[in-house]
A and B are shown apart, each in its own frame.
Chain A
C-alpha cells in the first residue's frame, strides 16, 4: 500500500526537467513493455517525434555507460535494462522481482535520478549515466546508506536491499536533511517482503548529510 504523495523512485522521476521529455507517445509505447511485447520497438524522444527510426526485432549494437565504464553489447530492442544488466553484463545487484515498476528491487540511477530498470529498455539507456549498486561504494568503503543498513539491520533475506539502498541514496543525494516522513515518502516506491522497514527508514535518515563512500 503506498501513500498518495509523490513517488521519488518512479521512472518519471520527480523533477520538472524530467517531465519535459515525457511525451504522450513514449508513455503509450512504454505500456507495451509489461505485456512482453515482441518485435520492433519505436523510441521517440519527444523533440524529434517525426523522425523516429524503427529498430529490431534483431539485436542492435549499443553502448551502456555503467558506473563510469562503457560496455558494448548487442540486445534485441525489447530487452529491458534490468535483463541487459543481469543477463548480459553480470551486474546482478539490481534484482528482477515484480517486473512491472511496483516493487523497486531493480532500482538504478539514470543520470542521477532513480529509475526502475525493469520498465526501461536497454536501448533507452544509451547515452545516459547508469549507476548501479555495484558503483556506489569506494573499494572496501561502503556508501553511508550501506553502512547504516548494516548498523540498523535493515535487511533480512536481502533481496530487496540493493533497490532500497539505491532509493535511499536518491533521497539523501537530493535532500541532506530529510524528515522521517520525507524518508518514508521517498521509500514508498520499494517493497520488502521480510519486513525490514524499521531499519531501512532509520538507516536512510541517519545517512543523510553524511556524503558518499
Chain B
C-alpha cells in the first residue's frame, strides 16, 4: 500500500537519481576540510605508541625511566603490562606524550620493553607446513544439495585447480587515531571513525577499566568527525590507542593527538584475510554446472577466520551438489578487520575463476556459460540483463577469443568476467529535520561521511521532498550528540539515512503545510511543495513562496522526526543486489606485466539517489580492485615474523596511469520500486576474479594466485 513516505514516482523526481556535485567537494578541493589529523588545539600534546618488535612473546618488563627524562616528556600510559602476551609484531604496548611530535618520538624510542620471545608463525599459503606447526583448525565441513557422488558421476566435464589470494591491508590515508580533549567532565574526541554514534560507549567502557579514572559515562563523550580520511571497514572502534589517548589527556590535563604512523597503520590497523584452496567443478556437456567441491584455508591473524561463502552466487541448494571444507590458519599477523564486502572478493575468486576454467574446458563462451547457469543464482533475471549490458559495454562479441587464441606476438589480449552480490540492508537511523521561520532547513543525525557522499545524498532527499535545491539544505552529521544513526559499514548507510531523512522531511513539511493551508484557505492535503513554492494542486494561483510560507511560522521552528526502521513508513529501502564486471587486459608474456585496457561494470542498487557519487563508488571499487588484482599484498617474513612492506613504496597501490579505461553503468528505472540499497561493497567484489579470468583468457593458462605480479605470470607460463 502506498504511503506518504514513498519515494516520488520517476516523473516527479527533480533531484533523486540525477548527477549532483559533491556538497563537500569545494571544502575538500580547497584543503579546508578539517580531519581529525588536522586538529591543532591550544596546548595540545603529541603522543606516540611504543609497539612490539616481536610477533609472539610475553612482556617481562617495561622501563620508562629513560623516556621520562627526555626533553618535553609529559606522561605515558601502559596499554599492556608485564605478563601480558603479544600475538603480533606491531602490537601496542604503551603510549607516551610530549610537547612536540619530535619529542614524543624521542620519548617512545627511549622506552625499553623486555619481551620473552615465543614461537611464531606468519605464513599460511603452505597449509601443510602450517599444520606441522600446529596452526590449522577445521572451520567448516558442510555438504548441500543433491548427492555429491552421483553428481560427479553425472558430470561430463570436470575441472580441478588451485586458486588463492593473499592478505591485503586497508592502508587508510588518514591513519587511525584521534585528538582527545578532556576538560572537567567533558571528553571531546576528534576521531577518524566510521561509527560516530558508537564511539562514546566504546570509549567509556574502555576508560572505566582504568581504576585511577573511575566510572566514565558515554554521555560525557562527544565525538566530532565532520570528515574522515578513509576506513574501508577498519574504523569502527575506539581501539587501544583511542583509550590511551584519552587517558593521557586526563592525566596531563591537555588535549592530546595520537595518530598512527604509516608503519603502524599498515601493520596493525586492519587487514583483509587471505584465501587459498583446491576447487573442483563439474558440468554437463551443455554447460549446466552440477557440482562444486572445495577445500580452502585462510588466515585473519591469531583468531584465524571462518569460511568465505562458497560456492559464490551459483549456490542453488536444490540443483547444485556442494561440498565445502574450510581450514582456519592461526598466524601472528595484525588482526583482520572488515574490508569492503568481507569474504566476498575471496569467494568470487574461488568460484568465478574455476568456473571460467571449466567454461574453457567446455569450449564455451563465458558469457553464454554464466547466463546459462544464472538459474543457480538468487537473481537470474538481474544477472542475465547485466551480463548482456556489460558485454555490450566491453564489446565482448567482437573482442573475445577462445582461451589462448590471442595471436603469435608476445603481447596477449584477453577478456574475463565475474558476478557478485551483496545485501546492503539499511542500518537503524534517526533523523531530525528543522524548518526555521527564516526558511532555513537543517538535517541532523549522528552519521558520518567516509567520502561516499552522505552529505550529498541527505541534501538530495531533503531538497527533493521540500521542493528546494541542494544548497538550501544544511547537513549536520559527524557529531555523536545528534540523533543516533548507525555505523557506516556493509553498505548500510545510504539506505538507513535516506529513509530517516525522507520520513523526517515529509513529517516536517506536513506541519508546514498545515500552517500554509490555514493562511491560503485550502486543504492541507491539496498542497504541494515544488520549485521553492507551496501551492494548491487544484488551484496553482493559491501559492506562497518557500520563504513566505516559513515566515507564517512566526517565531516557531518546526521539528520533524524520522526513523529507520518504521513499519508504517513506506517502502524506502531493501537489500540484495547483483552486479557484473568484465575486464579487458593485455599481458606481455616476455615481461609478465599486465596492463588494464578496460573494465566495464554494471551495478544494480535499487533506487539510485545521486548518480555521480554512485558511479564514483564503483570507479573507486574498480581502482582498488586493480590494486589487489595486480599489485597489492602484505608480505610477511617467517624468520622475523614482521610485515616486510609496511610502507607505501613496497606496499603497492594502483596509480593514475594503471587503471585503463573504466566504464560504469548504474541500473536505473528498472528496480527503483525496491527503494535504496547500499553501494559501497558490491562493486568491490568482482574486479580480482574478472581480471584473473581475463589474464587466463589472454595467456592460455591460469595464474593461480593474486596479485598477478610479473613473477607469477612468468612462472605460470613456464609451468604450462
Instruction: Give the distance in Å from the alpha carbon of A137 to the alpha carbon of B32 in the complex.
Output: 11
Chain B residues lying within 8 Å of A201, measured Cβ to Cβ, are: 656
Residues of A within 8 A of B325 (CB): none
Task: Kindly state whether residue A49 has any CB partner on chain B within 8 Å.
Answer: no
Nearest residue in A to B449 (C-beta to C-beta)? Answer: A157
Closest A residue by C-beta to B615? A153
Q: Is the CB of B173 within 8 A of A187?
A: no
Interface pick from A13-21, A24-32, A40-48, A144-152: A144-152
A105 to B622: give the CA distance in the assembly, Å.
22
**Considering residues B38, B227, B616, B617, which has the most beta carbons from chain A within 10 angstroms of its beta carbon?**
B616
Interface: B30 (CB within 8 A):
yes
Q: A142-B26, A187-B655 are in contact. Are A157 and B102 (CB under 8 A)?
A: no
**In the complex, what residues of A have CB within 8 A of residue B230's CB?**
156-157, 159, 193-194
A149→B29 contact, CB < 8 A: yes
- The verdict on A98 contacting B662 (CB below 8 Å), with A1-B655, A2-B655, A194-B230 known, is no
| CB<8 Å pairs between A and B, sample of 22 | A1-B653, A1-B658, A2-B655, A38-B106, A94-B31, A100-B262, A146-B26, A146-B29, A150-B22, A150-B29, A156-B616, A156-B617, A159-B35, A159-B230, A165-B29, A183-B656, A184-B657, A188-B657, A191-B173, A195-B621, A198-B662, A199-B619
Query: Does any Cβ of B come within 8 Å of A160's Cβ?
Result: yes
**What's the Cα separation between A198 and B711 when bound, in Å?**
28
A123 within 8 Å of B (CB atoms):
no
A185 surroundings in chain B (CB, below 8 A): 657
Interface flag for A212 (CB, 8 Å):
no
Name the B residues within 8 Å of A3 (CB-CB).
Answer: 655, 657-658
A193 touching B172, Cβ below 8 Å = yes
Question: B183 an interface residue at 8 Å Cβ cutoff?
Answer: no
A-to-B contact residues, CB < 8 Å: 1-3, 36, 38, 76, 78-79, 83, 86-87, 90, 92-100, 102-103, 105, 132-134, 137, 142, 146-147, 149-151, 153-162, 165, 181, 183-185, 187-188, 190-201
Per-residue interface assignment for chain B, residues 430 to 469, with 1 indicating a CB less than 8 Å from any chain A CB and 0 otherwise: 0000000000000000000011100000000000000000
Bound Cα distance from A158 to B105, whole angstroms: 27
Residues of A within 8 A of B173 (CB): 95, 97, 103, 105, 157, 159-160, 191-193
Q: Tell me the number of A-to-B contacts counted with CB atoms below 8 Å.
A: 194
CB-CB contacts below 8 Å: B17-66 with A: 21-22, 24-26, 28-35, 37-38, 40, 46
B33 — which chain A residues lie within 8 A by C-beta?
Answer: 158
Q: How far in angstroms is the closest Cβ of chain A from B654?
A: 6
Which residues on B sit within 8 Å (CB–CB) of A191?
Answer: 173, 648, 653, 655
- Please pick, from B227, B653, B656, the residue contacting A184 in the complex, using a CB distance under 8 A: B656
Contact in complex: A90, B40 (CB < 8 Å): yes
Q: Which 7 A-B pairs have the closest CB atoms?
A: A93-B31, A195-B623, A159-B229, A157-B451, A195-B620, A158-B28, A156-B451
Which residues of the other chain, B, contact A97 by a CB distance below 8 angstroms?
Answer: 173-175, 262, 648
Given A151-B21, A155-B25: A195 and B622 interface contact (C-beta under 8 Å): yes
Quick one: closest B residue to A183, CB to CB?
B656
Question: With A103-B648, A198-B662 in contact, is A86–B38 under 8 Å at CB?
Answer: yes
Name the one of A78, A99, A155 contacting B29, with C-beta atoms under 8 angstroms: A155
Cβ of B40: which chain A residues have Cβ within 8 Å of it? 86-87, 90, 92
Verify B649–A195 contact, CB threshold 8 A: no
CB of B466 to closest CB in A, whole Å: 24
Q: Is the CB of A1 within 8 A of B34?
A: no
Within 8 A of A (CB), among B622-675: 622-624, 630-631, 647-649, 652-659, 662
Determine whether the beta carbon of A100 is less than 8 Å from that of B31. Answer: no
Contact of B229 among A94, A157, A165, A200 (CB under 8 A): A157
Q: Footprint of A on B, CB under 8 Å?
A: 21-22, 24-26, 28-35, 37-38, 40, 46, 100-102, 105-106, 109, 171-175, 227-230, 232, 261-262, 450-452, 612-613, 615-617, 619-624, 630-631, 647-649, 652-659, 662
Q: How far is the CA of A140 from the CA of B391 in the complex (A)?
A: 45
Task: From A1, A99, A162, A165, give the contact of B631 (CB < 8 A).
Answer: A1
Are A76 and B102 in contact, with the CB atoms below 8 A?
Answer: yes
A128 to B3 Cα, complex, angstroms: 65
* A161-B46 Cα distance, complex, nearest whole Å: 25
CB distance from A187 to the nearest CB of B (A): 4
B662: nearest residue on chain A (CB-CB)? A198
Provide the bound-state CA to CA distance between A92 and B172, in Å.
Answer: 18
**B657 touching A161, Cβ below 8 Å:** no
Q: Which of A100, A133, A160, A192 has the most CB of B within 10 A?
A: A192
Q: Given A76-B102, A137-B30, A199-B616, A99–B174 Cβ distance below 8 Å? A: no
Contact B647 A158 (CB under 8 A): no
Given contacts A76-B102, A86-B38, A161-B31, contact A153 B613 (CB under 8 A): yes
Q: Which of A87, A132, A154, A161 has the most CB of B within 10 A?
A: A161
The residue in A3, A156, A199 that gathers the most chain B C-beta atoms within 10 A of its C-beta is A156
Decide: B620 and A156 in contact? CB cutoff 8 A.
yes
Minimum C-beta distance from A10 to chain B (A): 13
Contacts of A78 in B (CB 8 A): 102
- In whole angstroms, what is the CA distance A154 to B227 when docked? 16
Instruction: Please name all residues of chain A whose beta carbon is closer than 8 Å to the beta carbon of B28 when the two chains form the complex.
Output: 149, 155, 158, 161
**Also in contact, A133 and B30, with CB within 8 A (given A1-B652, A90-B40, A193-B230):** yes
A98 CB contact (under 8 Å) in B26, B613, B648, B658: B648
> In whole angstroms, what is the CA distance A133 to B27 when docked?
11
Check B659 against A198 for contact (C-beta < 8 Å).
yes
Residue of B nearest to A133 (CB): B31
In Å, the complex CA distance between A160 and B653 comes to 13
B30–A195 CB distance below 8 A = no
Given A142-B30, A151-B21, A153-B612, are A197 and B101 also a contact pair (CB < 8 Å)?
no
Q: A95, B653: Cβ atoms under 8 Å?
A: no
B25 touches A98 (CB 8 A): no
Which A residues are in CB contact (< 8 Å) with B38?
A: 86, 92, 95
CB distance from B537 to the nearest CB of A (A): 36
Q: How far is the CA of A150 from the CA of B101 in the complex (A)?
A: 34
In the complex, the answer to whether B623 meets A197 with C-beta atoms within 8 Å is yes
Question: Which of B30, B109, B228, B656 contacts A187 (CB under 8 A)?
Answer: B656
A181 to chain B, nearest CB (A): 7
**A183–B34 alpha-carbon span in the complex (Å):** 28
A81 to chain B, nearest CB (A): 13
The answer to whether A188 touches B655 (Cβ under 8 A) is yes
B649 touching A1 by the CB < 8 A rule?
A: no
Q: Inside 8 A of A137's CB, which chain B residues have their CB?
A: 30
CA distance A194 to B654 in the complex (A): 11
Q: B654, A1: Cβ atoms under 8 Å? A: yes
Whether B450 contacts A157 by the Cβ 8 Å rule is yes
A78 to B499, alpha carbons, bound, how many Å? 52
A58-B37 Cα distance, complex, nearest whole Å: 26
Q: Which A residues are CB-close (under 8 A) to B450?
A: 156-157
Q: Complex Cα distance A83/B109, Å?
A: 19
Give the chain B neighbours of A92 by CB distance below 8 A. Answer: 31, 34-35, 37-38, 40
Complex-state Cα separation, A196 to B662, whole angstroms: 11
Residues of B close to A142: CB separation below 8 A: 26, 29-30
**Most central of B25, B105, B106, B227 by chain A CB within 10 Å:** B25
B456: nearest chain-A partner, CB-CB = A153
Name the residue in A76, A153, A184, A187 with the highest tally of chain B Cβ atoms < 10 Å from its Cβ: A153
